Amino acid sequence: DAGVTQSPTHLIKTRGQQVTLRCSPKSGHDTVSWYQQALGQGPQFIFQYYEEEERQRGNFPDRFSGHQFPNYSSELNVNALLLGDSALYLCASSELGQNRGYTFGSGTRLTVV
Amino acid sequence: EDKVVQSPLSLVVHEGDTVTLNCSYEVTNFRSLLWYKQEKKAPTFLFMLTSSGIEKKSGRLSSILDKKELSSILNITATQTGDSAIYLCAVVKPNNTDKLIFGTGTRLQVFP
């Protein structure tokens, strides 16, 4: 039973560039949430996708956007990268409304230089 | 504003010690509280607590929720070097998104 898969594992980008991160949820899960974890901080909620729609958004600018595909996989896009976007980006999948917790992927470490 | 606070921020102990990690929350419409262990990247699930006073236990780890005090503790007995990690506490709000509100975590280092 595959868990949550994220790609790539590491990424280095230059300020101003754009990046796309990918996530495949755990089998049986229909909901994908994205979190940003800066060094020394807890993960911060970016947004959540269910049925290919963004259901709720955290306190992140419009430079952060996402998408969910019919097979429940998801992408996180960040435009006009800033140095402050350097962080670990975590994807978590769940079954909406089941309150059975989340399964996290290993994350993508993004470094902006 | 919803807030989850963990203490201490960092803890250094020797193998065999017992540790208690604290989590307090100020979250409207609380639904459940989760504990995660983060060793390198992926937080791994430890416990979900929804009812006050009921202890969840798994081996040397246990946790209790106190809804009256808006807090939870995570206990680790007979610590081992493999327990070294960041322990994250998160609260779930009962709206449609079930988003997690995390604390900053407690970094536990266990030395031989």
> Which chain A residues are closer than 8 Å to B88 by Cβ?
42-43
Counting every residue written for chain B, the total comes to 112
Mean pLDDT computed over A1-24 = 94
Contact assessment for residue A15 and residue A63, using Cβ atoms and an 8 Å cutoff: no
**Percent of chain A having pLDDT more than 90?**
88
Closest chain B residue to A94, measured at CA: B98
Of residues A97 and A3, more confidently modeled: A3
Contact assessment for residue A24 and residue A4, using Cβ atoms and an 8 Å cutoff: yes
Mean pLDDT computed over B64-84 = 95
Of the candidate ranges A10-24, B16-30, B72-86, B87-101, the one whose mean pLDDT is the lowest? B87-101
Query: In the prediction, which pLDDT does B110 show?
Result: 98
- Residues in a beta bridge with B88: B36
Pull the structure tokens for residue B46.
């430890």
A2 pLDDT band, cuts 50/70/90, is low
Query: In the prediction, which pLDDT does B29 show?
Result: 76
Q: What are phi and psi of A84, to 5 degrees?
A: -70, -10
> Which chain B residues are closer than 8 Å to A101 by Cβ?
34, 45, 48
As a whole number of angstroms, the distance between CA A37 and CA A4 comes to 17
Q: Is the pLDDT of residue B79 over 70?
A: yes
Contact assessment for residue B23 and residue B71, using Cβ atoms and an 8 Å cutoff: yes
Contact assessment for residue A67 and residue A49, using Cβ atoms and an 8 Å cutoff: yes
Cβ burial of A56 (10 Å; 0-12, 13-18, 19+) is middle
Question: Among residues 42-101 of chain A, which lie with CB inside 8 Å of chain B?
Answer: 42-45, 48, 55-56, 58, 88, 90, 92, 94, 96-97, 99-101
Looking up tokens 């754009």, which residue turns up?
A: A18
Mean pLDDT computed over A22-48 = 95
Give residue-wise pLDDT tens across range A60-112. 999 999 999 999 999 999 999 999 999 999 999 988 766 667 899 999 999 99
**Taking CA A59 as the corner, what is the angle to CA A63 and CA A73, rounded to the nearest 5 degrees?**
65
The runs of H, that is alpha helices, within chain B are: none
Contact A109 B41 (CB under 8 A): yes
